[in-house]
A and B are shown apart, each in its own frame.
Chain A
Amino acid sequence: MNKTNILIGILFSLLVVAALLKNWNHEQDPENSSGRSEVIFWHFWGGEDRDVVDDVARRFNASQTKYFVRPVAMPGNNLQAKLFLAVAGGDPPDIVNQDDPVLADWGQRGVIQPLVDIAPAAEVTEIERWILDSARRLSTYQDKMYGLCNGLDIRALYYNKTVLEQHQLQPPRTISDLDEIANTLAPFQSTEKKQSYGYIPDSRRLWAWGYAFGGDFYDASSQRVVVDSPPIRGALQWMASYAQRYGSDNLAAFRQGDQSLPGKIFPLLPLDDQETSGRYSVIMDGQWRVRNLAAFTRNRQARGVATPEFGVCPLPIPETGSPRKNAGWVNGNFFVFPKGAKNSDGAWEFAKFWIGFTDPSQAAKTCSQGGWIPVSQTVTQDPQFQTYLDENPLFRTFVELSESPNQFPIPSVPGAAFFRRTIERAAFQAFDDPHADIDKILKDAEQQIQTHLNRNDNLRDGGRVDP
């Protein structure tokens, strides 16, 4: 019995010593904060992007004597619930990266702080002027900046130049041009199943086409949902016309097939060496596909296989109505600063460093590494980023589009997640049923969203959290 006790005592002591040694080692870690004030940074990046994030943190830490950023990769799913619990529990991170349309929800509920609460008002005003319109829209709720956009996601049309030239077609500038491309490469009259299409709209992209047709989904001045308006109706009617022409079931099956492509390859790319065209000759996607195209081209060139040429163009616009040039749907990543955070000052310094407000060359380096769109023209003009654009000419179109005043996000209102779901479901319904009454679908959606937003408006204002 005594021996057993002694053995347990020795084991316990060994455990304590091991724990102390581990802690001592941690203190000796060259990557540690060494007395600096620690900034806890939650983000969801993984893979190649995570290396870029770690590098930004390393560069920031190297530039600092006061603060030390510790990035913590969190799974993107349920990040909201985790953050809410952390805020309610009084131990939130100092800075969080997010890309879902939650800014207004979080702001209204007092989960995050407006920038003027954590930074000098003059500096916030200066940053407001310094960043692009699209980036500012993503960070603003009720005319107040609640976040700081750190990278933009822009959608444009990728096209297979080689295929278009073979058919004497030009990159589309108008909706009629796009229809002509679609009809030439896969005639509208034939409803039989096809191996490839010139272009087919995706029902999830009503946001982008709605803005390009000159529409708005929400009128901030009257706080009304305005989904059932002529431009949005026009956009949805035009999109759904493809389902009527080709057969909604054929299109649905074809779209589903995109998910089963080997390695989830970009469907613009040909699947084998003998082919010039992929499943589509024109497709809407974001700037991250530039990497895929570059890798594909490099691979083919290395093997001496003929490579089709690709291009990128802004969303075409209709000839009638009041369309917007270089318009589209913008999304992006933004930093938010949770209420009750212990080191908002350090978090603010890190955010400024990341977006290049303190040193544009640092952000130019980050954006070149990650293939990300800068949030300010100052960063874009940096020689390092210009070199990146020269090496990746397709990327330039996305950067130019990001500077357009006609790039709009999902409306920044509490209940934006519901807004998004309802719009996308309405568009799906219009696609799914060729005889659907689009007017009624949009009216229904408008009413549902408005009811939901009104319910949210009845919530008390944010800022009542006492961590």
Chain B
Amino acid sequence: MSQSTTNLKQSEKVDRFAGLMFCSPWIVGFVFLFAWPFAASFYWSLCRFDLINPPEFIGLENYRRLTSELQSQKGFGLALTNTLYYSLISVSLSVVTGVLLATLLSAKVKGQAIYRTLVFLPSVIPIVAASVLWIWLLDPESGMINYLLSWIGIPSQNWLNQSRSALSPAGFTEFSQWLQGGALNLFGSKDALILMTMWGVGNFVVIYLAAISDIPGQLYEAAEIDGANVIRKFYHVTLPMLSPVIFFNLIMGLIRSVQTFASVYVLSEGTGEPGGSLMLISMQLFLSAFADFEMGYTSAMAWVLFVLLLAATTLLFRTSKHWVHYRTSS
């Protein structure tokens, strides 16, 4: 009896060792490529560090600088404002457009597969190629976007050469002046970036489509028996049943929007211009680390960004109790 227990313990040990050995590539990768840089970047955020010389501890100086830039709306402050503008608008629009497109694409019509492919196609185009294409599309003189806008009476916009934003006090003033017969220079480079992001909404649409196909038909039948029309069915059945997926896309979209870099780099030729309007946090991180050699300050910025993202995600999780409806097994 005791012999067999010892054997069992030994075989458990062997299994545990084998398990650990199989996990070791991941553990090593996690420790050296994630956990260590994560911890190191926090230490660097308390240092003056130029990548080449050893870090010099300066306490909270980098964080003080971030606070002062936040107040003056220069450097980090400007980048954070730009990122907030871009993230809030692009994520909200992505959710709304994604859900609406997925609802339309779930309708059983002739050519459904073609429409679905057309919507998904842009999201498989490499970001750099798509960005170059959008530089052409947004050309104020010969670009297709301005041509399309002219059909609905909107004059040519300067898109990538304009630091203004449509949804800003200046944008509203501009719009009201246009209604009174003035010129209209509404959209700027951030709006161009949002437009470009919307083009790649196909990724989200695929997830919504999968979720829509998973909604039980009985729910729609019950709603029909209750006399619900299409809009009511969408509002009372589709949306609540999609809410877990919307919640997932909201969080993923938020994180992805804050990380947006390649398209901004191409559109602004690596500068974050015009007028600092494309200086998103990712761009500011890149420039301060690799053009200005301020790795300590950059690490502090990255940590503030991490905390802000964590706070936003926590807030979304807290509010999710009120609007996300999970299907229960009963």
Residues of chain A at the chain B interface (Cβ within 8 Å): 77-78, 80-81, 84, 87-88, 105, 109-111, 249, 252-257, 259-260, 415, 417-418, 421, 424-425, 428-429, 432, 448, 452, 458-460, 464-465
Check B53 against A432 for contact (C-beta < 8 Å). Answer: no
Cα–Cα distance between A428 and B56 once the two chains are bound (Å): 36
Nearest-Cβ distance from residue B130 to partner chain A, whole angstroms: 17
Residue of A nearest to B68 (CB): A451
* B-side contacts of A465, CB under 8 Å: 52-53
Which residues 170-212 of B have a CB within 8 angstroms of A?
A: 183, 185
Nearest-Cβ distance from residue B195 to partner chain A, whole angstroms: 16
Cα–Cα distance between A423 and B140 once the two chains are bound (Å): 25
A-contact bits for B134-168, CB 8 A (1 contact / 0 none): 01100111110000000000001011111100000
From A87, A256, A460, name the one whose CB has the most chain B CB atoms within 10 angstroms. A256
Interface residues of B, CB < 8 Å — how many? 34
* B-side contacts of A458, CB under 8 Å: 48
* A-side contacts of B142, CB under 8 Å: 257, 260
The 6 sampled A-B contact pairs (Cβ below 8 Å) are A78-B290, A88-B51, A252-B158, A417-B287, A421-B271, A421-B287
Which residues 277-303 of B have a CB within 8 angstroms of A?
A: 287, 290-293
- The yes or no answer to B240 lying at the interface (CB within 8 A) is no
Check B158 against A425 for contact (C-beta < 8 Å). Answer: no
Check B161 against A110 for contact (C-beta < 8 Å). Answer: no
Overall SS of chain A's interface: helix
Overall SS of chain B's interface: loop
Q: Which of B139, B185, B287, B292 lies in contact with A257, CB distance below 8 A? A: B139
Cα–Cα distance between A110 and B293 once the two chains are bound (Å): 13
Nearest-Cβ distance from residue A107 to partner chain B, whole angstroms: 12
From B161, B183, B290, name the one whose CB has the most chain A CB atoms within 10 angstroms. B161
Q: Which of B140, B274, B287 lies in contact with A253, CB distance below 8 A? A: B140
Residue of B nearest to A87 (CB): B52
Nearest-Cβ distance from residue B48 to partner chain A, whole angstroms: 7
- The yes or no answer to B276 lying at the interface (CB within 8 A) is yes
Nearest-Cβ distance from residue A422 to partner chain B, whole angstroms: 9
Residue of B nearest to A260 (CB): B139
Cα–Cα distance between A80 and B139 once the two chains are bound (Å): 32
Nearest-Cβ distance from residue B300 to partner chain A, whole angstroms: 13
Cα–Cα distance between A432 and B170 once the two chains are bound (Å): 13
Check B163 against A448 for contact (C-beta < 8 Å). Answer: no
Check B139 against A249 for contact (C-beta < 8 Å). Answer: no
Cα–Cα distance between A348 and B141 once the two chains are bound (Å): 50
* B-side contacts of A78, CB under 8 Å: 290
From A78, A255, A428, A464, name the one whose CB has the most chain B CB atoms within 10 angstroms. A428
Check B162 against A249 for contact (C-beta < 8 Å). Answer: yes
Known: A80-B290, A428-B273, A448-B74. A111 touches B139 (CB 8 A): no
Check B141 against A105 for contact (C-beta < 8 Å). Answer: no
* B-side contacts of A448, CB under 8 Å: 74
Q: Which of A109, A253, A255, A425 lies in contact with B53, CB distance below 8 A? A: A109
Nearest-Cβ distance from residue A359 to partner chain B, whole angstroms: 36
Known: A252-B158, A254-B141, A260-B139. A109 touches B293 (CB 8 A): yes
Check A460 against B291 for contact (C-beta < 8 Å). Answer: no
Q: Which of A81, A260, A415, A432 lies in contact with B136, CB distance below 8 A? A: A260
Residue of B nearest to A424 (CB): B273
Cα–Cα distance between A291 and B50 once the two chains are bound (Å): 41
- The yes or no answer to B37 lying at the interface (CB within 8 A) is no
Known: A253-B140, A259-B135. A77 touches B270 (CB 8 A): yes
- The yes or no answer to B59 lying at the interface (CB within 8 A) is no
Residue of B nearest to A77 (CB): B270
Nearest-Cβ distance from residue A345 to partner chain B, whole angstroms: 24
- The yes or no answer to B29 lying at the interface (CB within 8 A) is no
Check A429 against B275 for contact (C-beta < 8 Å). Answer: yes
